[in-house]
Structure 1
Amino acid sequence: MKISVITVVYNAQDTIARCIESVISQKYPDIEYIVIDGGSTDNTLQIINRHRSSINIFVSEPDKGIYDAMNKGIKLATGQIIGTLNADDRLADADVLSAISQVFKESSTEIVYGNLTYVHPDGKIKRNWNSKQCGANSFNWGFMPPHPTFYCQRELFEKFGFYSLEYGSAADYELMVRFMHQHKTESFFLNKVMVIMQDGGVSNRSLKNRFKAWGFDLKAMKNNSILIPVVALVLKPLRKIYQFFNLKLNLC
């Protein structure tokens, strides 16, 4: 079972080597690694070139942002399973893809996701996103899996579409709620830290960006059959509070 891992990158000279090395050091043998660069102007391309022999597909050209780049990678992918790994992030250990593959091989699931650890740029742990199994009503209560841990069968993109650029920074949330809630695909929660993510997402960099992100979230909820979108919108950020205290949240 081939797993395609897509890394999208733009001017990430400080983190791209660590990201790439976390993929090429995986014990799982059947990996297709795709790197989509947005036309970096720092030393990113030189660093990528040092690892070029371990990268199956490499594209460097301007794009319309991170989700446009992800769509490019998905359309080039040939693996049965597809996941993404941003340039600032890394796979948590050398067994992550083996664990993902095992779940897909031993079950009928269409999606696998797991846990995520946020770290400061200095490497210190900021918070732990310990997820849970998604239920039929989970998204109605503000649930969202950690997108960097999201792996799915390639055919889901063919059936239900790609990342939609009209949702801005919430395009990842919209795709997951579309696949998992709107189309009721079968998912599996892998209780394992799958990704180490460097904190500092675009949607959280300013209050203005945060409000824009809420608007995109609300739009995604309304367009994907969330029962009471305003309730889900309020609960979605509140669910993150427990991550700072390693507590378990018992919402659906």
Structure 2
Amino acid sequence: MHDLKISVITVCYNAQSTIEQSILSVISQDYDNIEYIIIDGASSDNTVPIIKKHEKDVQRFISEPDKGIYDAMNKGIALAQGDVIGILNADDFFAGNHVLNDIANAFANNHAEIVYGDLDYIKPGGSIIRKWRTGQYKKGMFNRGWMPPHPTFYCKKTLFEKFGNYSLEFGTAADYELMLRFMHLKQASVYYLQKVLVKMSVGGVSNKNIINRINALLFDLKAMYHNKIIFPPIALLFKPLRKLRQFF
């Protein structure tokens, strides 16, 4: 038994096509001190029956209406009793069975408050279309548009207790704002785990159309100003440009 308890939170809504792959990737981990929490937004498809197939491996499950994905994440955080908390979305899955073991060792061996790693974007069939390789974080990198992949972001529960949860006022940038707050503004100790931790299916709410994309950029800018980025318009310009290297 490992001493460090890791709470993995999956939030979902009408995710019948992907939720089982996410669940299986959690329950097949070779790490033995996991608390698995699923927060469903009152799905109307087959999502809930699929979750209930695996209820013996899920410690906490709620299905009820919510105010969106980040409200659901906050519900999961409120329930979590682990030392470390991470989010695995319903269309994401762990890259292998040893991921949580690696994350636990990274926390234990590096006295870190935050651990993050790399991510692959995949399309149906499993082929990789983008590789997000972040590199080691250094103070000030957020000023140049840098950010880690949120699905690989694991942090001590105490950070939520000290600095707050996901703020709904930042819309689709709530995950970016939280990482910016914890790492850049509050300067929590960080460790980069140089390996692919999560595979993410292509798509996402903020990328569905040009209006959503513009709104996402405005939320990013608001998060930057709120968390004292030095030149937010410049960081906003660099942020999407950094994604280009992920395709090569």
Structure 2-normalised TM-score?
0.98
Tell me the distance in 2 between the aligned counterparts of 1:15 and 1:136. 36
Residue 196, structure 1, aligned to residue 191, structure 2: no
Residue 106, structure 1, aligned to residue 112, structure 2: no
Residue 47, structure 1, aligned to residue 40, structure 2: no
> Please, which runs of 5 or more residues in structure 1 have no aligned partner?
246-252
Q: SS of 2:217's equivalent?
A: helix
Partner of 1:88: 91
Tell me the distance in 2 between the aligned counterparts of 1:115 and 1:133. 11
Trace 1:193-232 onto structure 2 (pairs within 5 A).
Answer: 193-232=196-235
CA drift of 1:124 comes to 1.8
4+ aligned runs moved over 6 Å, structure 1: none
**Alignment-mate amino acid for residue 93 of structure 1:** G
- Of 145, 149, 152, the match for 2:152: 149
Partner of 1:36: 39
Structure 1, residues 6-40: CA drift from partner, whole Å, max 9, x if none? 00010000110100000000000000000000000
Trace 1:9-88 onto structure 2 (pairs within 5 A).
Answer: 9-88=12-91
CA drift of 1:195 comes to 0.2
Tell me the distance in 2 between the aligned counterparts of 1:107 and 1:119. 30
**Alignment-mate amino acid for residue 212 of structure 2:** N
Q: SS of 2:120's equivalent?
A: strand
**Alignment-mate amino acid for residue 154 of structure 1:** K
Q: SS of 1:239's equivalent?
A: helix
Partner of 1:248: none
CA drift of 1:133 comes to 1.0
CA drift of 1:107 comes to 1.5
> Please, which runs of 5 or more residues in structure 2 have no aligned partner?
none
Structure 1, residues 191-231: CA drift from partner, whole Å, max 9, x if none? 01000000101111111111000000000000001000001
Tell me the distance in 2 between the aligned counterparts of 1:79 and 1:14. 28
Tell me the distance in 2 between the aligned counterparts of 1:73 and 1:121. 28
